């Protein structure tokens, strides 16, 4: 495999899934603090003791130890997010929280100590709870202004420390998980299509505004959008199944089209027209979208799906779809499709002609801690090595196809709390964290077998991958 010499190898986490310290140093509550079961049940009135994210893996206090471990693997880049409510505890505060700003100064400085470039997600499923309760999250136009204040603050603060920025995590997921993705308290079934797409519009305008401000405040910075990528295959060659695939692609491509092209595409205008959806927008917002497109497109990749008239429902797949009879599934019902990653990279580049960055990919599995034979503990996670190897081989194929791929950050490079199920037992990391679903555990860190495998992959720039 021939990867570019400047390829950015690394790993990814989100603040709400790893930091913990949910009420320390002036941090306000965010939506995750009242989502103890992830997306499996509604929010609680207040934080409850069964919410593992309140402490998570205590990255807030243990980040020097963890960054050192990432450096031992040879990370070139580390993707994390800033918890909005650490900076503006309520989201609509007049002044930022200095202790929150100082924490990320320390974190980014620690990365740079080892030559690791931070890749920062501005909003990663972490809407301040006050904005969700008082304004109904991104359903409100007012959030654009609060987001602008937040991004101005962090851009001014970290302009010498962070080069790569993502505006919203998996922005297309707001259609399916409005609370998680958009801080919208109204239950999904009670939201009209106009409400949902108006919220999308607010996020898209805010994203364009952030891109504009980043380029003004940090001329050397690169700003990307971030979408949940999920290739769609037809169940049969029937023309009806191909049209179903086209329509499914449209709903996901829409968000990338808006970020790269800056205009509402014709297929969405038709969908809006035929479903009575009205989007309120100003000429200024249209101009903002058109004139402030992203520098690159980033995405998460875990699964592919099928569409067609028949077939079995997709089970564990986050965005639905039908099961592919040719694919195996993970323990959580997600279908495993390495070649779908090559297909996605080619399709996205053909469509958008922008550099691409794979910022999430990984396997959630129930790992077992065992003695390593040297007086320590480890996990023999050959299944994770096989999964990542097979996906990275396909990244190499896409690069050979001519696709400019900036880098690859595996999801949950250290074990953390699952976003969808809020479990610890759904582990993704190269580093085992001793914490259980019931909250017990020492929080001790143990490198897994995959830790050393990934170290060798990075050191060889992909040469040790096995086709």
**Per-residue pLDDT of the chain in tens (467 residues, 90 and over written 9):** 789 999 999 999 999 999 999 999 999 999 999 999 999 899 999 999 999 999 999 999 999 999 999 999 999 999 999 999 999 999 999 999 999 999 999 999 999 999 999 999 999 999 999 999 999 999 999 999 999 999 999 999 999 999 999 999 999 999 999 999 999 999 999 999 999 999 999 999 999 999 999 999 999 999 999 999 999 999 999 999 999 999 999 998 999 999 999 999 999 999 999 999 999 999 999 999 999 999 999 999 999 999 998 877 765 555 678 889 999 988 888 899 999 999 999 999 999 999 999 999 999 999 999 999 999 999 999 999 999 999 999 999 999 999 999 999 999 999 999 998 999 999 999 999 999 999 999 999 999 999 999 999 999 999 999 99
Whether the Cβ atoms of residue 431 and residue 53 lie closer than 8 Å to each other = no
Task: Name the average pLDDT for the chain.
Answer: 96
Phi, psi of 278 (to 5 degrees): -115, 125
What is the predicted pLDDT for the residue at 449? 98
Pairing of strands 222-229, 117-123: unpaired
Task: Name 299's Cβ contacts closer than 8 Å, sequence gap at least 6.
Answer: 226, 227, 228, 229, 344, 348, 356, 357, 358, 359, 360
The reported pLDDT for the residue numbered 1 is 73
DSSP bridge partners of 414 = 431
156-161: long-range contacts, CB 8 A cutoff, minimum separation 24: 156/217, 157/101, 157/104, 157/105, 158/104, 158/105, 158/108, 158/120, 159/217, 159/218, 159/221, 161/105, 161/108, 161/109, 161/112, 161/118
Report how far residue 269's alpha carbon sits from residue 256's, in angstroms, rounded to the nearest whole number.
16
Buried b (16+ CB within 10 A) or exposed e, 382-407: eebbbbbbbbbbbbbbbbeeebebbb
pLDDT in tens, 345-385: 999 999 999 999 999 999 999 999 999 999 999 999 999 99
Where in the chain are the domains? Answer: 8-460
- Give Cα separations from 465 to 1, 34, 155, 380 (angstroms): 7, 42, 38, 18
CA atoms within 13 A on the CB side of 397: 17
Q: Residue 317 has what pLDDT?
A: 54
Reduced to 3 DSSP states, what percent helix, strand and coil does the chain have, rounded to the nearest 5?
Answer: 40, 15, 40
| 307 catalytically annotated | no
Residue 239: which residues within 8 A CB-CB, separation 6 or more? Answer: none
Catalytic residue among 170, 307, 360, 397: 360
Q: What is the pLDDT of residues 323-344, one digit of tens each?
A: 899 999 888 888 999 999 999 9
Q: CA Rg, the chain, in Å?
A: 21
pLDDT value of position 315: 53
The four Cα atoms 27, 29, 31, 36 give a dihedral, to 10 degrees, of: 100
Q: What is the dihedral of CA 304, 222, 66, 103, to 10 degrees?
A: -130
CATH architecture of the domain 8-460 equals Alpha-Beta Barrel (3.20)
Beta carbons within 8 Å of 94's beta carbon, 6+ residues apart: none
DSSP state of 276: T
CA-to-CA separations, 322 to 159, 219, 246, in angstroms, rounded:
44, 44, 15
């Amino acid at each position: 495999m021939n990867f570019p010499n400047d390829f950015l190898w690394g790993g990814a986490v989100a603040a709400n899934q790893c930091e913990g310290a949910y009420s320390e140093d002036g941090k306000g509550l965010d939506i995750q603090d009242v989502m103890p079961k992830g997306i499996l049940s509604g929010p609680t009135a207040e934080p409850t003791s069964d919410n593992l994210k309140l402490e998570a893996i205590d990255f807030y206090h243990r980040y020097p130890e963890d960054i050192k471990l990432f450096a031992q693997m040879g990370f070139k880049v580390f993707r994390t997010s800033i918890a909005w409510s650490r900076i503006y505890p309520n989201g609509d505060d007049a002044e930022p929280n200095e202790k929150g700003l100082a924490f990320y100064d320390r974190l980014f400085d620690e990365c740079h100590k080892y030559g690791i470039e931070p890749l920062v997600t501005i909003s990663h499923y972490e809407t301040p709870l006050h904005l969700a309760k008082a304004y109904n999250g991104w359903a409100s136009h007012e959030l654009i202004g609060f987001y602008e204040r937040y991004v101005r603050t962090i851009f001014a603060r970290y302009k010498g420390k962070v080069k790569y920025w993502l505006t919203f995590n998996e922005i297309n997921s707001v259609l399916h998980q409005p609370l998680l993705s958009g801080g919208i308290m109204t239950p999904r079934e009670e939201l009209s299509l106009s409400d949902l797409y108006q919220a999308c519009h607010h996020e898209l305008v805010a994203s364009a505004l952030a891109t504009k401000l980043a380029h003004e405040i940090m001329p050397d910075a690169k700003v990307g959008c971030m979408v949940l990528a999920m290739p769609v295959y037809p169940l049969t060659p029937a023309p009806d199944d191909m049209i179903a695939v086209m329509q499914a692609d449209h709903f996901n491509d829409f968000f990338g089209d808006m970020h790269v092209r800056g205009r509402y595409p014709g297929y969405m205008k038709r969908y809006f027209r035929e479903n009575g959806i009205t989007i309120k927008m100003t000429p200024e917002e249209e101009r903002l979208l058109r004139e402030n497109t992203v520098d690159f497109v980033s995405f998460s990749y875990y699964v592919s799906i099928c569409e067609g008239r028949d077939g079995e429902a997709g089970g564990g797949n986050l965005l639905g779809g039908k099961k592919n009879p040719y694919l195996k599934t993970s323990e959580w019902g997600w279908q495993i499709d390495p070649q779908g990653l090559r297909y996605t990279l080619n399709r996205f580049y053909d469509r958008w002609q922008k550099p691409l960055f794979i910022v999430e990919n990984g396997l959630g599995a129930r790992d077992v801690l065992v003695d390593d034979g040297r007086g320590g503990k480890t996990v023999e996670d050959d299944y994770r090595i096989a999964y990542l190897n097979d996906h990275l081989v396909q990244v190499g194929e896409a690069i050979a196809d001519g696709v400019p791929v900036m880098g690859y950050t595996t999801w949950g490079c250290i074990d953390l709390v699952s976003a969808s199920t809020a479990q610890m037992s759904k582990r993704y990391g190269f580093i085992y964290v001793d914490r259980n679903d019931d909250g017990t555990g020492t929080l001790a860190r143990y490198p897994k077998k995959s830790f050393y495998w990934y170290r060798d992959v990075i050191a060889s720039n992909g040469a040790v991958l096995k086709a």
